[in-house]
Structure 1
Amino acid sequence: RAERRYLNRNPKAKLYAGLGDFSIFRLEPERASLNGGFGKAYLLDRADLIAGGPIVEELAASEQSALDHMNADHRDALCIYARHFGRAEGDGWIATGFDADGMDLASPDATCRVFFPRPLGTAGELRSVLVEMAKAGRAAGRAQ
């Protein structure tokens, strides 16, 4: 799963994935420090950094199918997500990953993280959230 997600996000790396010196490794963060500016330093623990629960495995099982579907049939919606919610520019956006908090998008020249209005509780909620966001983005575009 890690290799699939990495190659979705970095498609040019497919040229090197089969070579002997290419490998994927997994980080297991325990804690981190966040410096948000003067007087705004925080210690974060693992729960602050890593999504957990059944949604992780559930979404992982259906992620590639959802990516393939969105990239084949809903490229217009992906541009709406990138432009309206991600404040990104350009065309040619594709989805490279979904998780409980949002989606990763890529164009030929940029990447973009778009957060969902609320975290997903189940993988079954992905479609309805994407439809809701596409409708909101289209409505906002018409209002301008």
Structure 2
Amino acid sequence: MTSATPKPPRAAGPAPGTPPPIPPHADASVEIVRRLLRRAERGTLATRLAEADGWPYSSLVMIAVNHDLSPILLLSDLAEHTRNLIADPRASLLIDGTAGAEDPLSAPRVTLLGRIARIDDRAAAARYVAHHPASALHAGFADFHYYRLGIERAHLVAGFGRIRWLEAAALLPPVPEALVRDERKLIDALNQDVDLVRRLATAAGAKATTGWKVAGVDRDGLDLRRSDRSLRLEFGGPVETIDDAVAALEPILRPDAR
């Protein structure tokens, strides 16, 4: 158990803003989906119209991804998709990873299938607001509530001929309870070091490195946020504690030490 907040890594030259390669022992499809989800901040939600004979209905939603990989949504009671979910909680969520690709059809995207339920989870709510600061303006409204998509299956299209169905049991990662417990402590410690956050932003590929904040840390990486932009740094492997996370930042911030 961690007794004190670990010290952030010392400064050195920035690392490239590219994620580490997928470990050779890992299931490539699983890792692709996990990385797509961890980097996602929005998706296309598909529900069945409650008052129109079940016709398909799709809508844009903003999401934050929890430690267990489940998408968290903040929905209004007045929204069409919310009324649809009350009548039938089954839904799908398309996460599109094709932005910037010369040929979008050759780039990865994944459709998540599952059931969406309303939650009362302060940690999930805080995680959502940290990733979407503008949502704080209406998160406290009486007609807005948090929801969670419980993933049951995923359909990955990673390019031509690279198509696979994945069951939740194979896709969802173990939750590092110690990291979840101490995540806020680490985030606060990192954000107190403005120079460190600038170097993290540089390592993540940011051109302008001012104004960034660490928004979240999970077993696979670290999220940075600045106004309406987000960046992510992938760790070289999964971490279990905040000490592990700090150690994982060393080769990112000090590539010469690899």
Q: Shared fold by TM > 0.5?
A: yes
Q: Please, what TM-score do these two structures have when normalized by structure 2? A: 0.48
- Which of 21, 26, 30 is the equivalent residue of 2:143? 21
State the distance in 2 between where 1:98 and 1:111 align. 13
The match for 1:103 is: 222
The match for 2:166 is: 44
Map residues 44-83 of structure 1 onto 2, 5 A cutoff: 44-53=166-175, 55=176, 57-73=177-193, 75-83=194-202
The match for 1:12 is: 134
Map residues 77-96 of structure 1 onto 2, 5 A cutoff: 77-84=196-203, 86-91=204-209, 92-96=211-215
The structure carrying a bigger helix percent of its residues is 1
Amino acid across the alignment from 1:72: Q
Pick the structure with greater CA Rg: 2
* Stretches (4+) displaced over 6 A: none
The match for 2:234 is: 115
Percent identity reads 34
Residue 35 of structure 1: CA displacement? Answer: 0.5
SS across alignment from 1:28: strand
The structure carrying a bigger strand percent of its residues is 2
Ranges in structure 2 where 5+ consecutive residues have no aligned partner: 1-122
Please give the root-mean-square deviation of Cα atoms over the aligned residues, in Å.
2.0
* Structure 1 pair 80–36 and aligned structure 2 pair: CA distance change class (3 A): same
The match for 2:245 is: 126
Note if contact 1:29-1:46 (Cα within 8 Å) is conserved in structure 2.
yes
Amino acid across the alignment from 1:95: V
SS across alignment from 2:155: strand
